[in-house]
Structure formats: C-alpha cells, structure tokens
Amino acid sequence: MDPSWTGGVTRMAVLTGAGISTDSGIPDYRGPEGLWTRNPTLVKAFTYGSFMADAEVRAALWRSYADHPAWTAEPNTAHRALATLERGGPAVRILTQNVDGLHQRAGSSPRKVLELHGSIRETVCTGCGARTPTRTGGARTPTRTGGACTPARTGGDPGDRRCPDCGGVLKPAVVMFGEHLDAATVGLAERIASHSDLMLVIGSSLQVEPVASLCATAVNGGARLVIVNRDPTPYDDLATAVLREPIATAVPRICTALTTVPA
C-alpha cells in the first residue's frame, strides 16, 4: 500500500456498505451469495409500495428479518479497527449503509455513526411515526403500555402488524426501495463528506444514490478518495487509490497507517 495518501489526515469520513459485514456472517445483497441473488422475490418485500399494499409481503419481510444473521453476528476485524482508529487517529465519522448496528457494537461512538439507511433494531409506525426497539423472540403485535407501543418483536410469522395507538402499518426502521432517505441525515452526511481530508469507502458497490454521490462531494471538497471493494465501482476513476484485497486485511492495515503517520 502506498502510504502517501495517509498523511495529513485530520478529518476522515468512512462510508461502509454490506461488504464490511460479510466476514461477520451477514450476506450482502447483490453478490454471488447475496440475499437478493439467492431469493429474488425478497426484492418485492423490500419495496415500500408492495410492502404497504400487501399483508403477505409484509409477513415475508418480517420473516426474513426474524432469521436475519445480524441478531447474532459479531463485529469483525474491520469494524474493530475503525473503532480503535476513532480513539487514536484522526477525527472519524462513519457513514454506513448497513442496518446491522455492528459499528456501534464494535465500540464506535453511536454519535459518530450515521445510519444512512436506518436500522433493523428499531420498528417504526408508518402512521404516527412512533419508534420502538425491535426485539427477537416470539412474534406478537405490540400492545399499548402507558400510551406507547411496547418493543416490536420478530420471530415466527407475525403477519400483518399494526400500531396499537393509531392502527398504522408497522415496518422495520430501514429505508426501502421507493422511500426517500431522511433529508436531515443526507444533509449531515454531505457536510461530513465535504469537510473531510479523506473519504474511505469500504465494501460498497456505490450503485445506490444519493449515498454514492457522497464520494463526489468529498472529492469536490478537496478530499482524497480511497475505495476498498471486491468489484469495480462507478467512482473508481475519482479515487486516489482502489484496493481489491480482502476487507479483513486491508482495513486494519489502513487504520494502523492512519494512526502511526503524523498529521
């Protein structure tokens, strides 16, 4: 690895995609063993219009999340290396497309992790907007407790789940196809990218907008762009460096370099 681009980094944005979590046993979406590659019908379940219109589609999505490996997955060396870098390197903000919560479990400060696509660990009512933690366990519809929903559960066949307060459809607090990302979250991500010295992309195909365009935002702001990904991305031509080696070895090595190279 050419260490020249690791120097002079005081502010760093890290954009992570599904590829960083595959070593934790969580499959990506589009790869050879990806979730949608193995079961293309799930794409419909991840589409907001279909989810809202069809109770069977909703049940299929909740079943897929009941068995989601994120509930038992452990952070891997890449997650842990980024958490360690936060404590001994440049100022780090993590912009993640993942919904698994592994960055926080690895030790990254929750306030420094921006979950661009939401989290499966929360359930949101599409009617009143109430949010509750999602817990694994026996399936049941949340019940009212003190005027609020009790935490939603996954497991079994939950069927058509409704908010006990307003009757609205409950959904995982993740951004589906056909939904817009939260404007405030996108705005914050753009500010972080534009004020960074280095944008490090890990395990993202960079095919989903507007998140992928954060790379251009960073470069236009003067940042170096470094991409660690198995396959080519649409933003490789903008990058200072593109690394095809395994994430589990590349990321700890990059983090060590950023910790030891003087700013």
Enumerate the known binding-site residues. Answer: 125, 128, 163, 166
Residue pointed to by tokens 């019908």: 41
Enumerate the known binding-site residues for Zn(2+). Answer: 125, 128, 163, 166
Measured in residues, the chain has a length of 263
Query: C-alpha 222: how far from its chain's center?
Result: 25
Which residue out of 68, 79, 103, 117 is catalytically annotated? 117
Instruction: Let me know if 195 is a catalytic residue.
Output: no
**Alpha-carbon span 184 to 206, nearest angstrom:** 21
Alpha helices in 67-213 (DSSP H): 77-88, 102-106, 183-194
**Alpha-carbon span 87 to 92, nearest angstrom:** 9
Question: CA neighbours within 13 Å on the CB side: how many for 108?
Answer: 28
Q: Are the CB atoms for 73 and 100 separated by under 8 Å?
A: yes
Active site positions, annotated: 117
